Amino acid sequence: MKSLLSFHMRKKQFIGLAVLGLLVLILEVSFHFYKKYKIQQPSDAIEFIPADKPTLALKAFNPNDLNHEQWDKLGFTPKQTAIILNYKEKICKGNFTSKEQLSECFAISKDKFAELSLYILLPETATDKNPDYKKKDKKLTIRGKFNPDNYNAQDWVNLGFSERQSESILKYKKYLGGSFLSKEKFKECFIISESQFLQLEPFLLFPQQKITTKPLIKPKSIFDPNTLTAKEWKDLGFSEKQVQGILNYKEKILKGSFKTLADLERCYMISAEKFEELKPWIRINQPISKLTLKQITEPDINTISFQQLRDYGFDEKAAASLLGFRKKLGGFAQKEQILETYNIDKDLALKLIQEAKLDISKVNKIDILTADESTLKRHPYFRFHADKIIFYRTSVSDKNDILKKLNAKPKDIEKMLWYLK
């Protein structure tokens, strides 16, 4: 009898332990799948915030789509942003093709790139095995001390740079007024990587110094920098060399005139402190355009040509940008769209808006129910939503319902409607 009782007790204990073990196993399996589920969940959508805030909130982005303001919001200074955009346009031929290529822009530190890398919508490496931009860790052949101002294109090639890089270095020197001025200015050349600069630095002959100006001589009255003579610039406290640099910058880089305060502020011969001292006295009078649109044969924003834009007063870069943006859009649907053009002169653009006509009859429209992926991703207003559009149209046949499901900003929806068939 005792033996039977003992057997029943052991049986109950065994069943209890088995149940307990099963519960532990179920909990462990459940926890495993929970962790896997959490990892697979997309991160919350978070917007860019200004760089002066203590932390950056990030979301996935394509660096090819960012403008000055958006790079600034990622935490870069205006100077770093300018270098990144120069690198993109001149070295990468207008487009970053991989994360690796973007990481080689020396304005982006290794730590900063590591912070952004997970959110960058680019492949890790380019498909081209020998892209032009490849120059990382290249050993330069330096035979002794030299003044880079005296080097021609072949001299730079002999150092180890490609012909294209050598030409760009010389263009940068020309941009500076014909001289690199100092090691600091030389280092800012976006063609020359940080590792290459470290190789070159011990052999550079000019002193490492910042541009300085004499104390400000208070202007006698308000002045227009476009009308100042060399003597009047000197009277403001600039040296003869600085005055020559300012005049060269105005004539060669800005095609003859300062159009905005920002043009003057970007002049490499005028320090930030000096600009702030002069700023209250500056009044830039915009010259009247050589031609009015009434004198142009086709006064229509959707048909105006590059040369007509140049004749109207736009510089080459602004005219090309405007036509490039118009092509990407498939034509302007609203006059005000030209203000979205990169590098546009706002005052001149507003004048164009007032005087020009707009024929929207030939604007290319998109059917989001049938348009292929490349068409959607090429268009400035649809590309950010292309993947969602393609996904939703598999189960939704009404265009308006698809737009609602995008959860886009009302302003973005309005722009898409302009181009919707």
pLDDT in tens, 77-128: 888 888 888 888 777 878 888 888 888 887 888 888 888 888 888 887 765 4
pLDDT at 332: 92
User: What sign does the dihedral 355-361-367-372 (CA atoms) show?
Assistant: negative
Please name the residue that has the structure tokens 């179920």. 26
Q: Is the pLDDT of residue 388 over 70?
A: yes
CB 367 within 8 A of CB 393: no
Please name the residue that has the structure tokens 């009782």. 5
Q: And the tokens for 206? A: 């000019």
| 227-235: average pLDDT | 86
Q: Is the pLDDT of residue 239 over 50?
A: yes
pLDDT at 207: 54
Q: How far apart are CA 278 and CA 233, in angstroms?
A: 11
Query: Which of 35 and 359 is assigned the larger pLDDT?
Result: 359
Q: Which of 135-144, 241-250, 402-411 has the lowest mean pLDDT?
A: 135-144
Residues in the chain: 421
Whole-number CA gyration radius for the chain: 30
Q: What is the pLDDT of residues 326-358, one digit of tens each?
A: 999 999 999 889 888 887 888 888 888 888 888
Q: Is the pLDDT of residue 184 over 60?
A: yes
pLDDT at 131: 44
Q: Which helix (H) or strand (E) holds 101?
A: helix 99-103
| 311-331: average pLDDT | 87
Q: If DSSP codes are grouped into helix, strand and coil, which group holds residue 282?
A: strand
Q: Is the pLDDT of residue 366 over 80?
A: yes
| 128-133: average pLDDT | 43
Q: Give the global pTM.
A: 0.35
Closest CA to 82 of 61, 103, 108, 119: 108
Q: What is the pLDDT of residues 15-60, one digit of tens each?
A: 777 777 777 778 776 766 665 555 554 444 333 434 344 445 677 7
> What are the boundaries of each domain within the chain?
63-117, 148-203, 293-355, 373-418
| 399-415: average pLDDT | 86
Total Cβ atoms within 10 A of residue 232: 14
Give the list of residues 6+ apart from residue 400 with CB closer than 8 angstroms, or none: none
Q: Is the pLDDT of residue 316 over 80?
A: yes
pLDDT at 330: 92
| 69-75: average pLDDT | 85
Q: Is the pLDDT of residue 61 over 70?
A: yes
| 58-73: average pLDDT | 84
